[in-house]
């Protein structure tokens, strides 16, 4: 079974600064998908960015980018020019492309609470 | 409706009572899931359904049951609620095997007293 580890329960950053949230995972599969989800106080789960393991190029979405290190099984999220609206819980998640008749669900880390200081 | 609708939004339930959380999607996604979210534990998979008529157990299935009579609906039932089932419950759906096709509902906050 896959596991996802987020070692930072809480992070704090000044507005307009850059912050990096860490995520590591354990898997025996060679192909898979990785995601970062944002959960603001509204409780809604919002997809921030996604990465396909077979793509070496790191995904970027505006101010959000990832550092994907496949050999190290690391998938960190960098938020540039932090804004007050970025304050939220952030979850790293793993998805196998092969359901094999079993669950095709996401495996989540425990989350990192990001605080933005004005 | 667009996306996933969950009902109720929140509920306080007496221990021992039966409760069904409703989930409906209008995207014709074949796969649906139920997660529970607990502080410090992230989201954990309760049950899933890869297609209408089939269901399976996730990581924490005990005390819960599901059914998938059609593509759109995936209710989660607590037969006899216990306080440890106090949590926020999320329903989600996806095109099975497709990257990034995950859609979440807004969640149901359930308190069992």
Mutate to test the interface with A, among B5, B102, B105, B109 (most CBs of A within 10 A): B102
B56-57 vs B31-38, strand pairing mode: unpaired
State yes or no: pLDDT of A99 exceeds 60: no
Number of H helices, E strands in chain B: 0, 11
A89 contact B CB<8A: no
Helix (H, G, I), strand (E, B) or coil at B84: helix
Half-sphere exposure of B88 (CA within 13 A, CB side): 19
**Using a CB-CB distance cutoff of 8 angstroms, which residues of chain B are in contact with residue A47?**
100, 102
Contacts of A76 (CB under 8 A, 6+ apart): A20, A21, A22, A23, A66, A67
State yes or no: pLDDT of A71 exceeds 80: yes
Q: How many CB atoms lie within 10 A of CB B77?
A: 13
- Per-residue pLDDT, averaged over B14-43, amounts to 94
- Per-residue pLDDT, averaged over B20-27, amounts to 96
User: Quick one: pLDDT at residue A4?
Assistant: 95
Chain A's closest residue to B33, CA to CA, is A105
Among A50, A102, A110, the residue with its CB nearest the CB of B100 is A50
| Cα separation, B48 vs B35, whole angstroms | 9
In tens, the pLDDT along B57-83 reads 998 999 999 999 999 999 999 999 999
In tens, the pLDDT along A13-56 reads 999 999 999 999 999 888 888 999 999 999 999 999 999 888 88
| Cα separation, A87 vs A33, whole angstroms | 25
A41 contact B CB<8A: no
Instruction: Name the token pair of B42.
Output: 């992230």
Residue A73 Ramachandran class (φ > 0 left, ψ -120 to 50 alpha, else beta): left
State yes or no: pLDDT of B100 exceeds 70: no
Using 50, 70 and 90 to split pLDDT, how confident is the model at A108? very high
B3 with B103: CB under 8 angstroms?
A: yes
State yes or no: pLDDT of A83 exceeds 70: yes
User: Quick one: pLDDT at residue A103?
Assistant: 63
Instruction: Name the token pair of B54.
Output: 């089939």
User: Quick one: pLDDT at residue A56?
Assistant: 80
Nearest to A76 by CA among A11, A31, A27: A11
- Bridge partners, residue B37, by sequence: B43, B88
Counting residues of chain B whose pLDDT is more than 90, the rounded percentage is 78
A47 contact B CB<8A: yes
| Cα separation, A55 vs A70, whole angstroms | 10
Dihedral of the alpha carbons of B40, B46, B49, B55, in degrees to the nearest 10: 170
User: Quick one: pLDDT at residue A59?
Assistant: 84
Query: With an 8 Å Cβ cutoff, are A47 and B100 in contact?
Result: yes
User: Quick one: pLDDT at residue B99?
Assistant: 61
User: Quick one: pLDDT at residue B101?
Assistant: 59
A33 contact B CB<8A: yes
Helix (H, G, I), strand (E, B) or coil at B85: helix
| Cα separation, B54 vs B83, whole angstroms | 29
Chain B's closest residue to A44, CA to CA, is B106
């Amino acid at each position: 079974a896959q596991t996802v580890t987020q070692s930072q329960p809480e992070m704090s950053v000044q507005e307009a600064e850059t912050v990096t949230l860490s995520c590591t995972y354990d898997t025996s599969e060679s192909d898979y998908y990785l995601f970062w989800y944002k959960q603001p106080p509204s409780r809604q789960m919002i997809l921030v960015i996604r990465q396909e393991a077979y793509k070496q190029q790191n995904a970027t979405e505006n101010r959000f980018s990832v550092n994907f290190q496949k050999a190290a099984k690391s998938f960190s999220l960098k938020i540039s020019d932090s804004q007050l609206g970025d304050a939220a819980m952030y979850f790293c998640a793993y998805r196998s492309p092969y359901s094999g008749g079993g669950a095709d669900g996401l495996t989540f880390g425990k989350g990192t609470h990001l605080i933005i200081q004005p | 409706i667009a996306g996933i609708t969950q009902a109720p939004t929140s509920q306080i339930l007496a221990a021992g009572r039966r409760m069904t959380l409703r989930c409906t999607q209008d995207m014709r996604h074949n796969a649906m899931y139920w997660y529970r979210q607990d502080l410090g534990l992230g989201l954990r998979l309760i049950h899933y359904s890869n297609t209408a008529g089939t269901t399976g157990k996730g990581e924490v299935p005990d005390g819960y049951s599901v059914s998938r009579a059609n593509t759109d609906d995936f209710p989660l039932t607590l037969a006899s609620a216990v306080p440890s089932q106090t949590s926020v419950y999320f329903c989600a759906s996806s095109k099975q095997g497709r990257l990034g096709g995950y859609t979440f509902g807004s969640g149901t906050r359930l308190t069992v007293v």
